């Protein structure tokens, strides 16, 4: 094993896949000569050259569409968005083109493409730069959606995404790029669509994903001191969701809290809560609870951020409520 | 301010050769006969499609290409087999021009499994991988960056192939076009952008959407090789496409062709066409592209009247065969809804009912 930063894990995934498959290339704003806005692609221009590491103008819709066309025509594009907030400008190509190409063409043209970049809040960046898009894209049939929470999963899942025949939305975080974690020296893959139990416990199931899951780790440590053992499920893939792992865990713990970075309405937490009540109803000893971001745009000033953000303290309270502790 | 003024007529097209005094034909007899047959089949199958639509034989949208046939016919006669094609939702003629029997297009209109996209795309989404027809796209202008991306892959793989990317004058207003033109020029992509310029974005004329009425100027603003072409003349289209493709194959970059054409029918089947005069429509019918080709055939005695009649009968037969094929083909099994959404064969769809 070796210790790497999250950004290095992503870079290794892309570089390994580019070494083994000539069809794979990376395009996006500042990915080449600037070495990546967040240094994810640092050094890749030197290794692969300008044919395969391509700086684009600031034109998300245009270069996303160029990626889609290239994918339809046999290449394996990785399209980097500086953040997913800016990819809203490219949503037509992701949702109307990439996600639907295979069906609209009656199976003749697929779209093996990875759209990736930073997602969610990243400090005092105010309303337009602080959004999480798991639920947005998970809503769309035809896409796969991945949101890793540590370097190990990030590398293995990104490699799987690049090899996948279907279009993948890959959600990272500017706040996670510096996170360190252990990964194997040798090549490995983490399959898409399988959740991971990050902590075993018998009392309450916490379902989460992405960078906010760290708040669950903190909460679980605190709760353990009070004798409440949490099982933490990292969804890792948001479409398709590994419902089975969640339902089986709830059948064991009889309690469920969902922790999510985004807004409450039509969210992944509401989706999980639906499935738990539908498929583990008789096992529940308490209503499913959730901790999400406030039902407001994300504001600039620190106390407003404090008020908006899900955190360990709120999660602890929710867990205690479902545990009647 | 409310106004009842009819939009100003489209710009007058390039004057066609008058039939008194036989002009020397530019192409072979076989080419003219093929153009005539292909364009006649496009025209007749769409006239039939329009009737069937009114009879509610099938639903959805139905955007007809009638009047614009020379644009497809001239493009397809000038392209090479490895070239790629992508277009908008007015896409019934493109597969025919590429040699696909129209029965597969008709079956798609009917939503049948034998349709070009297995009945999953309908009128707006005609695809055929055998002839590199990469859609049929329903969002106005979305195929512009996709077309550049298709060309990107050809350049990446150093194939020498060209992508022909067609769209209407309405799509020229989309931001996607400007982003794409910029990048296509930066990267010298082998793509020919074809504006099938029929002067109306639904019911809104070019003059009502822009100060830049010569659409070739859009390309020029990106230093793109751009020209305006008489789209009622299949010869003019063929020449322009052949020149543009050669330019692309030499690695010189994209080309914009503003091909001025005209649709005789409304934007879709529900269009009352109050935005133009009958006189304007007649003005274009007088330079009908199919009639122009027929005139050349007759003036040069490329075919006897009997031989021309034979082509017309053949076209009629193809139309009848296509309708029969479409009507007799099976509708999809409901379970097919879950196929062709993902390449992954065991994708776990959320299914609350079966």
Question: What digits encode the pLDDT tens for the residues A108-151?
Answer: 999 999 999 999 999 999 999 999 999 999 999 999 999 999 99
Instruction: Report mean pLDDT in 10-residue bins for chain B, 354 residues.
Output: 40 45 82 98 98 96 96 98 97 98 98 98 97 97 98 98 97 96 98 96 92 95 98 98 98 97 91 92 95 96 97 98 98 97 97 82
First to last CA, chain B: 55
Confidence of residue A86 (pLDDT cuts 50, 70, 90): very high
DSSP E strand boundaries for A123-281: 144-146, 168-172, 180-183, 196-199, 204-208, 230-234, 237-239, 256-259
> Chain A partners of B348 at a C-beta cutoff of 8 Å?
193, 240
CB atoms within 10 A of CB B321: 14
pLDDT of B21 reads 53
Between B7 and A34, residue with greater pLDDT: A34
pLDDT of B18 reads 46
CATH architecture of B24-353: 3-Layer(aba) Sandwich (3.40)
pLDDT of B194 reads 98
* CB pair distance less than 8 Å for B156 and A97: no
Q: Does A2 contact chain B (CB < 8 Å)?
A: no
Which residues have CB under 8 Å from B47's CB, separation 6+? B66
Condensed to tens digits (0 to 9), the pLDDT of residues A160-209 reads 999 999 999 999 999 999 999 999 999 999 999 999 999 999 999 999 99
DSSP H or E run through B259: strand B255-260
* CB pair distance less than 8 Å for B134 and A72: yes
Of A47-56, A81-90, B4-13, the poorest mean pLDDT is in B4-13
Of the candidates B118, B138, B150, the beta carbon closest to that of A69 is on B150
| Domain ranges for chain B | 24-353
Q: From the centroid of its chain, how far is CA B264? A: 14
DSSP E strand boundaries for chain A: 2-5, 24-28, 53-55, 76-83, 114-118, 144-146, 168-172, 180-183, 196-199, 204-208, 230-234, 237-239, 256-259, 289-291
Condensed to tens digits (0 to 9), the pLDDT of residues A224-271 reads 999 999 999 999 999 999 999 999 999 999 999 999 999 999 999 999
Interface of A with B in 169-208 (CB under 8 A): 193
Asked if B125 and B94 touch (Cβ cutoff 8 Å), the reply is no
Q: Domains (ranges, CATH) in chain A?
A: 2-183 (3.40.50.970), 196-322 (3.40.50.920)
Alpha carbons B91 and B86: distance in angstroms, whole number? 9
Q: Which two tokens stand for residue B154?
A: 């050809």
Of the candidates B84, B135, B340, the beta carbon closest to that of A107 is on B340
> Chain A partners of B147 at a C-beta cutoff of 8 Å?
69
State ipTM: 0.97
DSSP state of A95: I
> Chain A partners of B162 at a C-beta cutoff of 8 Å?
none
Of the candidates A59, A73, A101, the beta carbon closest to that of B154 is on A73
Helices (H), chain B: 29-54, 69-78, 93-97, 102-109, 143-156, 175-186, 216-220, 234-249, 278-285, 289-299, 305-328
Q: Which two tokens stand for residue A313?
A: 């303290």
Alpha carbons B56 and B26: distance in angstroms, whole number? 43
Which residues have CB under 8 Å from B250's CB, separation 6+? none
CA angle (B49 as vertex; B73, B66 as ends), nearest 5:
35
Q: Which two tokens stand for residue A72?
A: 């339809």
Which residues have CB under 8 Å from B48's CB, separation 6+? B319, B322, B323
> Chain B partners of A75 at a C-beta cutoff of 8 Å?
152-153, 156-157
* CB pair distance less than 8 Å for A103 and B136: no
Asked if A6 and A150 touch (Cβ cutoff 8 Å), the reply is yes
Percentage of chain A lying above the pLDDT 90 cut: 100
Cα–Cα separations (whole angstroms), residue B114 to B107, B130, B326, B341: 6, 15, 8, 18
Interface of A with B in 46-65 (CB under 8 A): 51, 56-57, 59, 61-65
CB atoms within 10 A of CB A240: 18
């Amino acid at each position: 094993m070796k210790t790497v930063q999250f950004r290095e894990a992503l870079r290794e995934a892309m570089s390994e896949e580019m070494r083994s498959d000539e069809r794979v290339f990376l395009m996006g704003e500042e990915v080449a000569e600037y070495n990546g806005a967040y240094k994810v692609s640092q050094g890749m221009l030197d290794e692969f050259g300008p044919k395969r590491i391509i700086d684009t103008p600031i034109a998300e819709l245009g270069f996303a569409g160029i990626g889609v066309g290239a994918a339809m025509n046999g290449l394996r594009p990785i399209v980097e968005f500086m953040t997913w907030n800016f990819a809203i400008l490219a949503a037509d190509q992701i949702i109307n083109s990439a996600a639907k190409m295979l069906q609209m063409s009656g199976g003749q043209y697929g779209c093996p493409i990875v759209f990736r970049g930073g997602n969610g809040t990243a400090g005092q960046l105010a309303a337009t730069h602080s959004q999480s898009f798991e639920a947005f894209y998970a809503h769309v049939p035809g896409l796969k959606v991945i949101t890793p929470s540590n370097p190990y999963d990030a590398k293995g899942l990104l490699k799987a995404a690049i090899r996948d025949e279907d279009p993948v939305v890959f959600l990272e975080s500017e706040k996670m790029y510096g996170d360190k974690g252990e990964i194997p020296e040798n090549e490995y893959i983490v399959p898409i669509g399988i959740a991971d139990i990050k902590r075993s416990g018998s009392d309450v199931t916490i379902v989460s994903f992405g960078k906010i899951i760290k708040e669950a780790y903190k909460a679980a440590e605190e709760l353990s001191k009070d004798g409440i053992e949490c099982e933490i499920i990292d969804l890792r893939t948001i479409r398709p969701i590994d419902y089975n792992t969640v339902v089986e865990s709830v059948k064991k713990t009889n309690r469920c809290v969902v922790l999510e970075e985004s807004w409450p309405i039509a969210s992944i937490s509401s989706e999980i809560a639906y499935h738990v009540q539908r498929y583990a109803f008789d096992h529940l000893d308490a209503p499913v609870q959730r901790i999400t971001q406030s039902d407001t745009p994300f504001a600039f000033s620190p106390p407003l951020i404090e008020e908006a953000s899900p955190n360990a303290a709120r999660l602890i309270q929710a867990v205690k409520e479902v545990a009647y502790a | 301010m409310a106004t009842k003024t009819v939009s100003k007529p489209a710009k007058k097209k390039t004057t066609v050769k008058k039939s008194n005094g036989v002009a020397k034909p530019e192409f072979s007899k076989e080419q003219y006969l093929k153009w005539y047959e292909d364009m006649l089949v496009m025209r007749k199958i769409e006239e039939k499609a329009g009737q069937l639509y009114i009879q509610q034989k099938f639903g959805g949208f139905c955007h007809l290409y009638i009047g614009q046939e020379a644009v497809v016919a001239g493009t397809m006669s000038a392209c090479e087999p490895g070239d790629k094609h992508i277009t908008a939702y007015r896409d019934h003629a493109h597969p025919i021009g590429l040699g696909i029997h129209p029965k597969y297009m008709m079956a798609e209109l009917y939503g049948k499994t034998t349709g070009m996209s297995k009945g999953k795309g309908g009128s707006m989404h005609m695809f055929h991988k055998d002839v590199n027809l990469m859609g049929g796209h329903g969002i106005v202008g979305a195929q512009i960056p996709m077309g550049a991306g298709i060309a990107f892959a050809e350049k990446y793989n150093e194939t020498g192939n060209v992508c022909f990317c067609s769209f209407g004058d309405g799509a020229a207003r989309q931001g996607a076009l400007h982003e794409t033109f910029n990048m296509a020029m930066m990267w010298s992509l082998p793509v020919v952008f074809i504006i099938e310029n029929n002067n109306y974005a639904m019911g809104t004329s070019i003059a009502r959407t822009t100060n830049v009425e010569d659409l070739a100027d859009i390309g020029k603003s990106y230093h793109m090789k751009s020209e305006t072409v008489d789209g009622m003349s299949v010869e003019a289209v063929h020449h322009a496409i052949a020149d543009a493709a050669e330019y692309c194959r030499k690695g010189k970059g994209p080309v914009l062709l503003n091909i001025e054409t005209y649709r005789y029918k409304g934007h879709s089947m529900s269009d009352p066409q109050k935005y133009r005069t009958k006189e304007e429509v007649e003005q274009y019918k007088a330079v009908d592209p199919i009639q122009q080709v027929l005139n050349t055939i007759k003036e040069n005695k490329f075919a006897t009247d009997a031989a021309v009649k034979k082509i017309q009968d053949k076209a009629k037969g193809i139309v009848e065969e296509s309708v029969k094929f479409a009507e007799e083909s099976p509708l999809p099994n409901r379970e097919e809804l879950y196929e062709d959404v993902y390449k992954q064969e065991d994708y776990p769809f959320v299914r609350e009912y079966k």
